[in-house]
Structure formats: C-alpha cells, structure tokens
C-alpha cells in the first residue's frame, strides 16, 4: 500500500513512521526542504523519543521517503493523510489557509479510489463544508463516489507520540458509511490501536473538540479553586489529592497558565461556531478567560505579597510551553513578560532547550539564575533541569522571592534558604 502523509511535523512524521513500520510504503510530504532532506538522509529533524530509530530503520528498508512535491506523491497514493497546522485568525476563528493549500495540492494529483483522511483539528463541519470541496474542485472527483473521505483526529502528545499512537483509540468518521469503514479498516491495520467508528465526519470532529474543552474547563476550575486556597491559606494540592480519592472527583492541576498548540486554540472552534448558531458556550468562554488571565493574576500576586516590581530584576525559568519539549507556541512566558514589563520590571529568561540567540529572537534577554544579578525567579516550565536548584546560592546571590508556577519545588527547602515562596494554590 502506498501512503502519503502531508505535513511531516512533530505529529505527522511519527505517524508516517508508525505506518511505514506496519509494512506500507510511506512518503512524507512537507513544504520545508530541510525537513525533507533530513528524512531522506535517514535522520530526524525533531527531538522525539524513538523517532531517530524509526526513521533510520524504515528509510533503510525503503519504506519511508520524503518530498516537497505533494501533488506528485498523491498520484500514486492509495491513502492520503493530511496533518498540517490550523491556526487562529485575529478574531480567534479557525484559519483554514494551510489546510486549504495542502488539500488543493492533494486534489491535483488524487487518483480515483483513494482514501483521504484529515487529522488536523477543525471546527465541526469543516471537513465536509470546507476541505472536501477543495479536493473535489482540484481533482474533478466526487467524494463518496470517486474517493473515500474521512476525518480521524490526531490525539497524541509530544514526547509520547509513539506510545499514544499505539494505545489511544483512533476515532474515525466518514463522508458516508463506506468512507468511515475504509478509514477504520486502514487505521486498524496500520496502527494497531483500537478504532472507534463514530460514523460521521462531524461526530469525529466533535470528539476532539469536546475533549479539549473538557480539559480547558477543568483546568480553569483548578485555577479558580487554587486562587481561593491562596486567599484562605490552604494548600490546593493537598485538598485535590484528598478530593480525588473518592473515585468521583478528578480535579486537575492549576498553574501559571495554559500554553501549546491545542488547549489555547481549539476551544475557539466551538465557541465561534456556537456564537454563529446562537448556542453560546458560556463555560468554554469563561474557561478561556480564566486560564488566559493566570499569568497576570500571578504576577499581581507576586507584586502584592513581595514588593512593587518597578525596577526589579525578575527572571523567568522556561520558554517552552511544556517540560522538556522545545516548543514555545502560546507559551505563558510571553504573557508573563508582558505583565512584568507593564509594571516596569526588568525581565530575563533562561531555558536549557534554547540557545541565547533563540531566546533573544523570542524577545527575551538571556540570563542564568545563581550567576547573574536578579531579585525574583518565576518557574514557568517544569524542565528537569530546573527541578533542584541551589536555593541557598540563589539567596546569597541576592534573589529574595520565588514564584513556583508549576508546583515544582519544595516549599520548606525554599523558605529554609531564606526566600519568600509563592506557589500557585498554596496559601501564604
């Protein structure tokens, strides 16, 4: 079977490798020549556990190649998987621009009888109303008659992609019953994970969006309860642990904010469509506001509990949005910096996954806690490298306060060193 995966990104390339591992001949298509060249050299362009070995093995076996010519690759494809980014427009609606371009490129080469599967998260109805018509117009073929069309949402996670591909059920919905069945059969054979056929494209789209809103709303609940615990002098983490022990509660972790490709973005796909349909998603809207306000709320707390921030040197630990991953899209480092600078603080940042040049390119001045002069430190990303700092050395170097935004440090160790400790959800 010839398969092409359009979008050899951090999620698409491991997917291509997993399918190649099953014996299919896979071509990874991408607009970035550097990514294509790396794959064709048998090397990985990303840091993802296991990816180097998967690429080397399947490239050597002739099962994995790459190209920038998506249309040419589509001419020989039995199955096409499209997994490219979908961003937000300035008014926080879905931007189909990259998806349209990829779908059109596929359509120009699509052959009769092929299966096209979209994995990029889209608004409900987006596959049927927006993307399939692009392919039909470019190809002259008709979905349901000349080619199969399905939607199967990506549900993996950086640093755990191969594990998630094996273990997370693959949700599939189709343009029609035959398309849904074709998609389910393909994923069952080539990924090995359990497949859930939810029949329609819209149902499959909604499965992913519902899960994202569930997560966002529950993080917002944790953040509100954490703020309350701070106000009454209790420890959210002890409260949550005890509450979750009844098998009916599942309180999530609060933090200094929510970043990444998914949670800050995908809820808006339902929020905006709900507005157009007159079905307001009040909880989702409130959750977005609460979670987006976390950096500002915590910076204000630091200023109230410690000292006015005017002229203070405040150091942020972590540019990445997640521990030990070099991705900073919607990282809370950015709104933290905005909130600090609005109070005339002097902001620096360090992240072991980024060079000083990359940190400067992101708009920050690089520095190092325990080496450079600073007054306060904020833990934004729970990188392993930040797990056990020398707090006594920090105090000796002039650091007076820390804001633990990720519950990463032992409060007693911090206070024993003579620093003021502020933690999300921990009362003073």
Torsions phi, psi for 42 (to 5 deg): 80, 20
Q: How many residues does the chain have?
A: 428
Question: Looking at beta carbons, which pairs linking 99-105 to residues 24 or more positions away fall under 8 Å?
Answer: 99/130, 99/131, 100/130, 100/131, 100/134, 102/6, 102/7, 102/70, 103/131, 103/134, 103/135, 103/138, 104/134, 104/135, 104/137, 104/138, 105/6, 105/70, 105/71, 105/74, 105/138
Query: What predicted TM-score, i.e. pTM, was given to this entire model?
Result: 0.95
Asked if domains 2-207 and 294-423 share a fold, the reply is yes
pLDDT of residue 252: 97
Unique residue bearing structure tokens 């020398």: 390
Which CATH entry fits the domain spanning 294-423: 3.50.50.60, 3.40.50.720, 3.90.45.10, 3.40.50.300? 3.40.50.720
Which superfamily, per CATH, for 2-207?
Answer: NAD(P)-binding Rossmann-like Domain (3.40.50.720)
pLDDT of residue 428: 79
**Which of these, 137, 153, 22, lies nearest to 82 by C-alpha position?**
153
β-pair partners for 350: 317
pLDDT of residue 248: 93
pLDDT of residue 391: 98
- Can you give the residue ranges of every domain in the chain? 2-207, 294-423
**Which of these, 111, 3, 137, 108, lies nearest to 63 by C-alpha position?**
3
- pLDDT per position in the chain (428 positions), as tens? 999 999 999 999 999 999 999 999 999 999 999 999 999 999 999 999 999 999 999 999 999 999 999 999 999 999 999 999 999 999 999 999 999 999 999 999 999 999 999 999 999 999 999 999 999 999 999 999 999 999 999 999 999 999 999 999 999 999 999 999 999 999 999 999 999 999 999 999 999 999 999 999 999 999 999 999 999 999 999 999 999 999 899 999 999 999 999 999 999 999 999 999 999 999 999 999 999 999 999 999 999 999 999 999 999 999 999 999 999 999 999 999 999 999 999 999 999 999 999 999 999 999 999 999 999 999 999 999 999 999 999 999 999 999 999 999 999 999 999 999 999 999 97
Q: How far apart are CA 28 and CA 8, in angstroms?
A: 6
């Amino acid at each position: 079977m010839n398969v092409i995966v359009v979008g050899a990104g951090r999620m698409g390339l491991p997917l291509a490798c997993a399918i190649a591992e099953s014996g299919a001949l896979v071509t990874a298509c991408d607009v970035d020549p550097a990514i294509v060249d790396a794959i064709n050299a048998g090397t990985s362009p990303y840091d993802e556990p296991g990816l180097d070995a998967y690429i080397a093995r399947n490239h050597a076996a002739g099962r994995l190649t790459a190209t920038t010519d998506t249309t040419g690759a589509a001419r020989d494809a039995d199955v096409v998987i499209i997994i490219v980014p979908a961003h937000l427009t300035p008014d926080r609606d879905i931007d189909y621009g990259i998806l349209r371009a990829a779908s059109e490129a596929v359509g120009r080469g699509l052959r009769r009888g092929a299966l096209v599967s979209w994995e990029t998260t889209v608004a409900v109805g987006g596959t049927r109303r927006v993307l399939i018509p692009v392919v039909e117009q470019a190809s002259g073929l008709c979905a349901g008659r000349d080619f199969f069309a399905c939607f199967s949402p990506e549900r993996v996670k950086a640093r755990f992609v191969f594990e998630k591909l094996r273990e997370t059920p693959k949700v599939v919905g189709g343009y029609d019953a035959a398309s849904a069945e074709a998609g389910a059969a393909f994923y069952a054979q080539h990924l090995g994970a359990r497949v859930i056929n939810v029949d329609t494209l819209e149902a499959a789209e909604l499965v992913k969006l519902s899960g994202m809103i569930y997560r966002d709303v529950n993080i917002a609940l944790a953040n509100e309860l954490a703020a309350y615990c701070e106000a009454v002098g209790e420890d959210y983490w002890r409260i949550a642990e005890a509450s979750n022990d009844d098998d009916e509660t599942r309180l999530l972790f609060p933090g200094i904010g929510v970043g990444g490709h998914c949670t800050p973005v995908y809820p808006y796909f339902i929020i905006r469509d709900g507005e157009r349909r007159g079905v307001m998603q009040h909880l989702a809207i409130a959750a977005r506001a609460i979670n987006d306000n976390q950096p500002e709320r915590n910076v204000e707390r630091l200023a109230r509990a410690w000292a006015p921030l005017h002229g203070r040197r405040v150091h942020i630990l972590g540019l990445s949005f997640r521990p030990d991953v070099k991705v900073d899209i919607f990282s809370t480092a950015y709104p933290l910096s905005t909130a600090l600078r609005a109070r005339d603080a002097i902001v620096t940042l360090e992240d072991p996954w980024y060079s000083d040049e990359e940190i400067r390119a992101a708009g920050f001045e690089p520095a190092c806690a325990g080496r450079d002069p600073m007054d306060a430190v904020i833990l934004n990303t729970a990188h392993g490298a930040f797990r056990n700092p020398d707090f006594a050395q920090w105090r000796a170097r002039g650091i007076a306060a820390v804001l633990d935004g990720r519950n990463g440090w032992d409060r007693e160790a911090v206070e024993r060193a003579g620093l003021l400790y502020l933690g999300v959800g921990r009362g003073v």
